[in-house]
Chain A
Amino acid sequence: MSTPSPSVRPRSRLLAAFAATALLATAACGGSDSSSKSAGTQELALAIQGTPPSLEITQLNGGQSAYIWSALYDTLLYTDNQGRIQPNAAESHTYSEDRRTLTLKLRKGMTFSSGAPVDAAAVKASLERILRTPGPNQSAMAAVEAVEAPDAGTVVIELERPDGALLGNLSFLNGVIADPATMTGPAAAADPVGSGPYTLDKGATVTGSTYVLKKREDYWNAAAYPFETVKVRVMADRSAVTNALQAGELNAGSVDFTQLQPLKAKGMQITSVEATAVASLVLADRGGETAGPLGDLRVRKAINMAFDRAKLAETFLRGSGRPTAQVFSPKGGGAHDPQLDETYPHDIAAAKKLLAEAGHPDGFSVTMPSLAITKMFEPTIAQSLADIGVKVNWTPVPPQQQAAALSSKKYPMYFMIDGLAGDAASTVVFFTPRNQRNPFASTDPELAKLIDEANKAADPAAAAEAYRKVNKFAVDNAWFAPVFYIGSTWVTAEGVRYLGDGSSTYSQIRAFGTGG
């Protein structure tokens, strides 16, 4: 038996209507969201993708969080937007003839945000803290034997051996200067005292979300920083960056190239950088220690010939990058040689022939780590290798275990995306034994001689020539199978310009200027 439906009072309709219009009502209340929008060119509002790690000097990293820490700390030297190393807190630097002693003369009149003076003792304390504290930047100072401060304006760094990457390191992670009085204190991680052009506005900063930097008017080089305020917002989702740019909540951001159209339509400026990272198959076990076939140069060459680089670049990047066969940056200082990109044409038949000559006519199997960063490329990589008979078995590796897994010698080869850097820094990353991309500590007398030449070269042109030879060695000996350079696209609102061209991939506020 059915029950007649009782009626309810019209008041419920009002309730429903209220709920349905709540969104519009809330919107109408506030009008346009002027408070959260960027304040013209006085403010730079940009996005980074992940929460910055600790701001304590031994824990800094070279990713996008550098927009924050490089604004808080001065560095001894500075890498400009064209990749040239320039004076900064140290107004001059001179090497001894054997390039084992570096003397830095500090600029006078610099102060920390606390008001304390920046002197050689503070620089020595900062360098020694990085040198002696286990952390991500300690190994880059492996060549440093001692740091001395003979007077208040002079710092002397003694080296065990010449280090071609030292000046670059002193212009970034290893050259930061922190106030010795507070560098080990409880505030060092979240609110450090530096001598940089900005201070952290703790009242306006929300850790993990928004970092607000206020310009120091007493900074010695204030004119080089046109923005009174820098707001760095953490936005993991690239669509959020696009939306925020369109809504005027950011005035600078790196966006996915697929999302450019609506930003162009809004009249925003687009600056494309052709190469900021390189995607390559690291053929790590060049000695054939755990994967015998990789010890044979013919096999490594065959793997290089398995990739249709142009097609892969087009498929994955659609114009935001280009194919390559080398790991050095096109704007790293001189090592890059366009002709080397033609070394390994896509040729399956020739690759199979090389494998057969190496004694692997039916190919072989290899285990590779499946990483979060390479997931989307894995089917294509596996297919390219399968075309020449190399079967890939993927082993999932969670992000927190990535570093340990890749350095464990468990994986004879792996696919990786690396940010590009200057030639000296790239040489350390890709060729120094036990460093990131040389986990099997591969060495070669010819390569060691070339790197030594580069480290000892006083003349930049001579160093560039040595790095060019290092690059040619790596390509000729197929230490890697690079596939493509990945570019980036910066979008800026009216009045803000992105000044980088890929020569320096350091994330620094000085990559942005006004005008345009």
Chain B
Amino acid sequence: MLLYVLRRLGTGVVLAVLVTLITFLLLAPSFDGVVGNRLGPGATPEAVRALKAELGFDRPLLVQYLDWLAHAARGDFGTSLFTGEPVAHTILQRFGVTMSIVVVALGVTVVISVVLGVLAASRGGAVDRATQGVSLAGNLFPSLLLAIVLVYVFAVELEVLPATGFTPLSEDPLQWARSIAIPVAALVIAGIAGLTAQVRGTMIDELRKDYVRTLRTRGISTRSVVLRHALRNAAGPALTVLSFEFITMLGGALIIESIFAIAGFGGYAFESSLQGDVPAIMGVTVFAVLLVITVNLAVDLVNGWLNPKARIF
């Protein structure tokens, strides 16, 4: 398994290098614009030349990229052209904020989706119909709309939760919980729609299989049949959907961060792109690629652990 993990990580590094190279080449035509924005109107050609030299934009593209790559390999992603702050530090700070929302949202989504999906599949009837209703509603209402409604009700009208802002967990756990409550709720309601349907569907399939009947005839308790056997086998497809949900939530976090005025990873990526902040965009790209690779690897490993037949290592 170690060899498999190392091989996957190696592939991931190659992929990251390729993606960053493509990103760098796509950004290259905007380098003059970046210099223009930094200097403002009326800049003299000498000033343009001086700044290009200072930023290293006067060198061949491949040299620039390799220089960036060499520094990035050592963890040095440079400083923002816009704020002058170290890119790696800002990304880690912003990423921590986003993850503290997304991870909690993902955890709550898993708990609710599994409970609802298992109940719907195992009970059927009204419970199943209600679950499908929840799933449908989650698909119908975009998280943006939900967030706006939740802010209005809980922050503006009831004044029981903050409307904007983020408190770090390390600073005040209770305020942290309150500051992420509405963003998490908005992401969860959208997230459970897909995952609940997936858990319900695969659980129904599993509960109809012969091994379930065999287990029952052997006197295994219903709880054990559902939770230890059927749910374990149903977890594979659900995990795959969960990994998609994670990526979707990261994307959705950009909207959530904007609505709640939270300085997170999504907002940083968006601002950096708008400003043409080359070091920041490159840093964000590396981070995003590594994140997706890590999540996919983790899902494959957990899948293999849950179901030996699904092992690809």
Q: Which residues of A contact B (CB under 8 A)?
A: 2-3, 5-9, 12, 15-16, 19-20, 22-23, 26-33, 35-36, 47, 50-54, 56, 59, 134-139, 142, 188-190, 206-210, 233-237, 239-240, 243-244, 246-249, 262, 372, 398-405, 407, 429, 432, 434-436
Contacts and interface: CB of A to CB of B under 8 A. Distances in A.
B39 A233 contact: no
A37 to B, nearest CB: 9
Given A8-B119, A400-B275, A208 B162 contact: no
Given A15-B111, A19-B115, A136-B40, A3 B207 contact: yes
B163 A27 contact: no
Main SS of chain B's interface residues? Answer: helix
A59 B54 CA distance: 15
B160 A138 contact: no
Contact of B181 (A26, A54, A237): A26
Contacts of A33: 159-162, 175, 178
B84 interface: yes
B14 to A, nearest CB: 29
B287 interface: no
Contacts of A407: 36, 41
Given A5-B123, A23-B182, 7 more contacts: A27-B178, A134-B38, A135-B39, A139-B39, A189-B84, A243-B163, A244-B261
Contacts of B271: 50-51, 208
Contacts of A26: 161, 177-178, 181
Contacts of B274: 372, 399-400
Contacts of A138: 39-40, 43, 47
B258 interface: yes
Contacts of A47: 261
A59 B154 CA distance: 41
B122 A6 contact: yes
Given A8-B122, A50-B271, A407-B41, A27 B154 contact: yes
A249 B165 contact: yes
B116 A16 contact: yes
Contact of A6 (B111, B115, B207): B207
Interface of B: 29-30, 32-44, 47-48, 50-51, 54, 79, 82-85, 90, 93-94, 108, 111-112, 115-116, 118-119, 121-124, 148, 150-152, 154-156, 158-167, 172, 174-175, 177-179, 181-182, 185, 207-208, 212-213, 216, 222-223, 225-226, 258-263, 267-268, 271, 273-276
Contacts of B44: 139
A436 B41 contact: yes
A371 to B, nearest CB: 12
Given A206-B263, A233-B165, A6 B33 contact: no
B185 A23 contact: yes
A30 B174 contact: yes
A244 B164 contact: yes
A56 to B, nearest CB: 6
Contacts of B50: 134
Contacts of A405: 33
A178 to B, nearest CB: 14
10 contacts: A6-B216, A12-B119, A50-B271, A52-B83, A53-B82, A59-B38, A207-B85, A240-B164, A243-B156, A400-B37
B33 A401 contact: yes
Instruction: Tell me which of A8, A20, A207 has the highest count of chain B C-beta atoms within 10 A of its own C-beta.
Output: A8
A293 B284 CA distance: 46
B259 A237 contact: yes
A233 B275 CA distance: 19
A54 B118 contact: no
Instruction: Tell me which of A54, A237, A249, A403 has the highest count of chain B C-beta atoms within 10 A of its own C-beta.
Output: A403
A264 to B, nearest CB: 14
A16 B165 contact: no
Given A7-B122, A59-B84, A243 B164 contact: yes
Nearest to A433: B42
Nearest to A401: B33
Given A50-B271, A139-B43, A243-B156, A9 B223 contact: yes
Contacts of B179: 36
Contacts of A372: 274
Nearest to A12: B115
B191 to A, nearest CB: 12
Contact of B148 (A29, A56, A239, A399): A239
Contacts of B34: 400
Given A190-B83, A400-B34, A27 B258 contact: no
B36 A403 contact: yes
Closest 5 CB pairs of A and B: A400-B276, A189-B84, A136-B40, A209-B263, A139-B42
B33 A3 contact: no
A52 B39 CA distance: 16
B156 A247 contact: yes
A50 B83 CA distance: 12
B160 A54 contact: no
Contacts of B40: 135-139, 403
A463 to B, nearest CB: 22
Contacts of B268: 208
Given A134-B51, A207-B85, A240-B259, A8 B154 contact: no
A237 B254 CA distance: 11
Given A5-B122, A22-B108, A135 B84 contact: no
A236 B111 CA distance: 33
A435 B41 contact: yes
B258 A403 contact: no
Contact of A247 (B83, B94, B163): B163
A239 B260 CA distance: 9
Contacts of A54: 82-84
Contacts of A239: 148, 259
Contacts of B121: 5
Instruction: Tell me which of B40, B116, B182 has the highest count of chain A C-beta atoms within 10 A of its own C-beta.
Output: B40
A36 B275 contact: no
Contact of A190 (B29, B85, B152, B212): B85
B261 A237 contact: yes
A8 B123 contact: yes
Contacts of B30: 398, 400-401
Nearest to A235: B261
Nearest to A139: B42
A16 B172 CA distance: 27
Contact of B162 (A16, A36, A237): A36
B252 to A, nearest CB: 15
